[in-house]
Amino acid sequence: MSSAFTFMQSPVGTLTLVARGERLAAVLWEEERENRVRLGELHRDDRCPVLLDTARQLGEYFAGTRRHFDLALDFAGTPFQREVWEALLTIPFGETRSYGDIARQIGNPSAVRAVGAANGRNPISIIAPCHRVIGASGNLTGFAGGLQAKQYLLALEGRESLALAL
């Protein structure tokens, strides 16, 4: 099955929104690393309902009027990756967790590095808030959208002091 995509302008650059059927499959960054997210064949569809709804909800998020997303998601990854990505969905707006916190949450406390790797391959950025995952020291760590985008998103959610700890 091919996937539909469209572009969205945002304060963190041009985002590529991707849907598989009636579910959101990816939110990709302007400077996306090749093969970070594998999607298969894509076709542009600027009128796809899921993508229009995603763009609307992201617009509300960036405007500061939305704290939770209400979208059907299609995470394509290994069972472990999907478990990590589902755990990301439980991090409340304006809060952060460490990689160790996520590893403990999924019942695998020694999998901190594997959690970091899965977090780095999260296909549905912002919606599944991988930007809310920080290092154990409290410092910002790598982010597919770049540390400036991570800092922006955390500041948008009221974490200015943490965001400035670059």
Annotated active-site residue 48? The verdict is no
**Which residues are CB-contacts of 34 (< 8 A; sequence separation ≥ 6)?**
none
At how many degrees (to 10) do helices 112-120 and 79-88 cross? 80
Burial of 68 by CB count in 10 Å (0-12 exposed, 13-18 middle, 19+ buried)?
A: exposed
Of the candidates 15, 24, 118, 130, the residue annotated as catalytic is 130
Residue 158 token pair: 């009221």
Residue 154 token pair: 């955390």
What is the SS3 assignment for 45? coil
Catalytic residue numbers read 130
